[in-house]
A and B are shown apart, each in its own frame.
Chain A
Amino acid sequence: MDEAMWAFGRVSGFVSLALFTGSVLLGILNRSGRPLMVLPRFSISILHRNIALLATVFLGLHVGSLLLDSFAKLNPVDIVVPFLGSFQPFWQGLGTVALDLVLAVVVTGLLRHRIGQRSFKAVHWLSYGVWPVAMAHALGNGTDVSSGWFLLLAAVSAVAVAAALLWRLSPSFLETSHARQGNLP
């Protein structure tokens, strides 16, 4: 049973990380205002939200299963307060930080219409912090780091997120940037 929890805890962590990568990419695409091939803008927005929610569910499974596992020796406190863990407190603490940030981003995302655009966006910027923190946690804390497939997943994700960030910062990022810089079609 313990073995199963341990395995499940690791796999759900990877799934969650991959989904968060997808969510960051879709969030950036959403921000650019562009449709993607057959996907209209509103679908990208809905996909972005739903993949983020799915990633959060897997994050819950990841933490939940490791709580039940005796090898990871997780304390309920470790879920909210970072850097107290008994095993690799620093790397595990990064996971806790990521979890806390995700909760803040998701809760304010779902309550967007109640709290208003300003507060929503102020918190939503944290999502750019979530990703590197979660990735560092996976690399530092994981026991699968030496395996090729995980390093491949990590490298591909890092390249994709870095490319999206560069695109986000480029002057032609917005769909309408061309027209708004004074060049009408």
Chain B
Amino acid sequence: MKTYLHIDWTSCDGRGLCTELLPGVLDRDDWGYPVARGKAGWERTDVPVRDADREAAQEAVFLCPKLALSLFERPGPEQEKRTPGR
């Protein structure tokens, strides 16, 4: 299982608490919104979280003033590749 940090863009207001708590994962754009470093496409909305960043991500979910963040898990890409028929 891999952990992802989901950003609900309809709720996010670019307040920047998450970018402070996860500086290695999230950058901030000029309007204040979080941008996943080195990611493109859907990984900017469902940002992969390494084990070392899990706790900080949990904190960000708890502290986001707009309740725009959530954590979820799903099988990682490597695992998906191993599943026959996919």
Contacts and interface: CB of A to CB of B under 8 A. Distances in A.
A82 B51 CA distance: 52
A127 interface: no
B71 interface: no
Nearest to B66: A117
Contact of B17 (A41, A112, A113): A41
Interface string B48-74: 000000000001001101110000000
A112 B30 contact: no
A42 B30 contact: no
Interface string B1-22: 0000000000101111100110
Contacts of B76: none
- Chain A binding site: helix, strand, loop or mixed by DSSP? helix
A154 to B, nearest CB: 30
A117 B67 contact: yes
A103 interface: no
Chain A interface size, under 10 / 10 to 19 / 20 to 34 / 35 or more:
20 to 34
A41 B11 contact: no
A180 B30 CA distance: 9
A171 B31 CA distance: 16
A179 interface: yes
A184 B17 contact: no
Which of A42, A113, A117, A179 gathers most chain B CB within 10 Å? A42
Interface of A: 30-31, 33, 35, 40-42, 45-46, 112-113, 116-117, 120, 175-176, 179-180, 184-185
